[in-house]
Structure 1
Amino acid sequence: MTSKGEETDLIIVGAGPAGLSAANKAAEYGLRVTVIDEFPEPGGRMLGQFHEESGHWWVGKQIADELIAEAGRRGVRIRCGVSVYGMLKVDDRFEVSTSIGALFAPRVLLATGAAEIPMPVQGWTLPGVMSIGAAQVMANVNFVKPGRRGLIVGINVLAMAIARELSVSGVSLAGIVLPPAGPLAGAAAKPKDNLELLMGLSHLAPSPILRMGSRIARSCNLAGWIANFFPRKGIRMWDIPLQLRTAAVSINGNERVESVTLAQVDAKGEILDGSQWEEPVDFVALAGGLYPLAELASVAGCPFIYTPELGGHLPLHSEQMRTPVEGLYVAGNITGVESALVAMSQGRLAAASIGVDADAIGSGGDRIVAEAMEEVGRTRAAALIQFQPGIAEARRGIYRLWQETIEVGV
């Protein structure tokens, strides 16, 4: 239990990859750092993540353990199970209101990550329906299978990545299907749009033939034509049926999930008459994608911009991770949804900027910031998981806006 009015040099909100990486680097510069997170243990989404990266398995739990151990050696204070409900800057310091009292610091880094977008389907309040992230946590963090046989509703990068993890963990999946068409689903319910997204992920395909075919089809703009002839039963990826011409109509059951009513759809996502059938499953994972969890930046008075390539509305920030609110910084998925590796490099960059602004680094600070910016660029370019196409271009647009407005005093 912290004492009311505790003071430190830097408060970091979020103990995920960005927050922990920033904390360790800032502590290396000699700053007193306190990290707070509402979850019961540090690590964030890394705790349930693993995937193949450059010929080896990247295991998030292992990386998180290494970051947490380093934080302990450097004297970083990590407070978990702590909620933040307010931020106010008075004179030259922030007052951060938390569930264990007020914290004060001249600088705050928001590394709050991202949240899942709800994907409503008729019957989604039944026990056994969960977000795809919840299924990931159950299987990979708590080592409990979410059910005997499940179905994923929603075709996106998050769904594909976690489907692979669940398959490796021994979870049986009947398939990955489209959500029902409607205003909330939008393009996510259309086979053509999903096929274009998957073509952008050709490097993740499980065979060289699929990877080459996807690249050729994308370069020739064949998504619409392929969508018309995509197999009705789908294709198998990691032995999971990927069904671009099948949509979930309803989730059925009395006291819990018992089945899902599915239907064939045409290339535009419209249900074909008489094509419905019931698929027996005992759990359903809804995959609506991710959006930046940025409410605290709004509370602090930071302006926002809308960038769909990065997940939606996010706080305006510079390439050095500064915001227009002096002393407020951002890093990780709050700046746009990308991989944990990018978030970690952004955290180190934010720490370098904070170190310079706090006069904690010395004469070599600008060089360190420049090197950290280059590291972010290299990590982004090499990232295996790209949540949306056009991320690099969107980033450049944000930084141009910063230069055209904030840097000239608009």
Structure 2
Amino acid sequence: MKEIEILVIGGGPAGLSAAAAAADLGASVLLLERDDKPGGQLVKQTHKFFGSKKQYAGDRGYQIGDFLIEQCENNPKVEVWTETTVLGIYEDGVVTAEGQGKHLKINPEKIIVATGASERMITFPNNDLPGIYGAGAVQTLMNVHGIVPGQRVLMIGAGNIGLIVSYQLMQAGVEIAGIIEASPTIGGYLVHASKIRRAGVPILTSHTIIEAYGKDSVEGAIICKLDDKWQPIPGSKQDLKVDVICLAVGLSPLTELCFQADCQMKYVPELSGHVPIRNKYLETTRLGLYVAGDVSGVEEASSAMVEGRLAGICAASSLGHGNDVTPKLQAEALAELSELRAGPAGQKTVKGIMKLMNKGGAAC
């Protein structure tokens, strides 16, 4: 049985930030990551971040990931186990995991769940053909393994992920036949959409895919225009010859462990699905269990890092570490989150969080 003060589950931007913040206050931390390297989505993000210097503006995602990993590796209070998958969080506080070819038991005093999110899929005829990918899978192929998925791509979804991955595909020499978006407006930042349009790639809003076709793999897709009631407009079908269909249709929080740990959950569309109810310090209704990052509601990586830092500070403080500086650090992190969510893009998240706060939560 491994005894530890704070267990962090997930080594993405939120988990790494949580581990570093808690360790900086003097807590002993164990971070578990199921992949062979921490970093989460950051390891495959080659685009530069926006925001302020505090959120590493101007740095590329993989560079930020390397920095966060170094922060943890250089702190003697942090222990990192890679290729380790958490199996369950039980009533007595014991956490079980599979790793190192063994069934592992860990007994932490506090837990921070930072498991991130999974890609959503959509249903349409032949959506199981080879050549149909999630956008995250395409990023992994290209930016981690150096493999292009195909030669001509239809991108479904004009949020930030769809726009960014489309541009990265173009940088790799792949043709983008078009980007379609079911909503009447583009969901991503204008700066990303402008780069795509300047390259001559059409972005078709109020459009959806009807079906994919091909014998052994994708050979094309039928798309159509939608009316203001989201119904196909007769006579608007187009046949696009493509060998890849990439789905960038959103993410869902990976909350299975929170359900299993008996956290009180609530479905909040603005936060992209079922999320654990928590207070402003990110402690859930299961006392001593905190959440941070996309598992608490899908946002940008910048917000995930700040939430991770806040969860790490609160978990460490609850064990008596850094109480002289905790109020100041908490206030700074909360102010930073408010700043990140201040613009139009953040209003949806703010609305979702308010729904959770009205429901209640635990005390930090």
Tell me, yes or no, if structure 1 residue 270 matches structure 2 residue 231. yes
Q: Report SS of the residue matched to 1:99.
A: strand
- Alignment check: 8 A CA contact 1:164 1:238 kept: no
Tell me, yes or no, if structure 1 residue 391 matches structure 2 residue 334. no
1:79 alignment partner in structure 2? 81
Structure 1, unaligned stretches of length 5 or more?
179-188, 208-234
| Correspondent of 2:17 among 16, 21, 27 | 21
2:41 alignment partner in structure 1? 45
1:286 alignment partner in structure 2? 247
1:399, distance to aligned residue in structure 2 (A): 2.6
- Alignment check: 8 A CA contact 2:164 2:192 kept: no
1:66 alignment partner in structure 2? 67
- Aligned pairs for 1:129-140 (under 5 A) are 129-140=132-143
The number of equivalent residue pairs is 353
1:78, distance to aligned residue in structure 2 (A): 1.4
1:123-163 C-alpha deviation (Å, 9 max, x unpaired): 11111111111112112222211111111123434323332
2:2 alignment partner in structure 1? 6
- Alignment check: 8 A CA contact 2:139 2:165 kept: yes
Task: Work out the percentage of aligned pairs sharing the same amino acid.
Answer: 31
1:239, distance to aligned residue in structure 2 (A): 3.0
- Aligned pairs for 1:139-154 (under 5 A) are 139-154=142-157
Partners of 1:336 and 1:316 lie apart in 2 by: 11
Partners of 1:20 and 1:406 lie apart in 2 by: 24
Q: Which moved more, 1:332-341 or 1:270-279?
A: 270-279
- Alignment check: 8 A CA contact 1:309 1:389 kept: no
1:267, distance to aligned residue in structure 2 (A): 4.4
Structure 2, unaligned stretches of length 5 or more?
none
| Correspondent of 1:297 among 236, 244, 258 | 258
2:184 alignment partner in structure 1? 195
Q: Report SS of the residue matched to 1:390.
A: helix
- Alignment check: 8 A CA contact 1:17 1:343 kept: yes
2:276 alignment partner in structure 1? 315
1:163-183 C-alpha deviation (Å, 9 max, x unpaired): 2333344332101124xxxxx
1:281-309 C-alpha deviation (Å, 9 max, x unpaired): 11111222111111101111100112111
1:270, distance to aligned residue in structure 2 (A): 3.3
2:120 alignment partner in structure 1? 117
Q: Report SS of the residue matched to 2:35.
A: coil
- Alignment check: 8 A CA contact 1:310 1:336 kept: yes
1:266, distance to aligned residue in structure 2 (A): 4.0
1:88-131 C-alpha deviation (Å, 9 max, x unpaired): 132xxx21111131111111100011111111221111111111
Partners of 2:226 and 2:282 lie apart in 1 by: 44
1:373 alignment partner in structure 2? 334
Q: Which moved more, 1:253-262 or 1:163-172?
A: 163-172
1:228 alignment partner in structure 2? none
1:365, distance to aligned residue in structure 2 (A): 2.2
1:95 alignment partner in structure 2? 94
Pair 1:274–1:195, CA change in 2 (3 A): closer
Q: Which moved more, 1:268-277 or 1:168-177?
A: 268-277
1:354 alignment partner in structure 2? 315
Partners of 2:167 and 2:67 lie apart in 1 by: 24
1:380-400 C-alpha deviation (Å, 9 max, x unpaired): 3379xx4x7522233233234
- Aligned pairs for 1:149-160 (under 5 A) are 149-160=152-163
Pair 1:206–1:288, CA change in 2 (3 A): closer
Q: Which moved more, 1:291-300 or 1:164-173?
A: 164-173
1:323-349 C-alpha deviation (Å, 9 max, x unpaired): 111110111111111110110011111
Q: Which moved more, 1:101-110 or 1:245-254?
A: 245-254
1:220 alignment partner in structure 2? none
Q: Report SS of the residue matched to 1:338.
A: coil
2:194 alignment partner in structure 1? 206
TM-score of the superposition, structure 2-length normalised?
0.89
Pair 1:369–1:262, CA change in 2 (3 A): closer
Q: Report SS of the residue matched to 1:65.
A: helix
Partners of 2:12 and 2:299 lie apart in 1 by: 13
State the one-letter code of the partner of 1:68: I
Partners of 2:354 and 2:235 lie apart in 1 by: 48
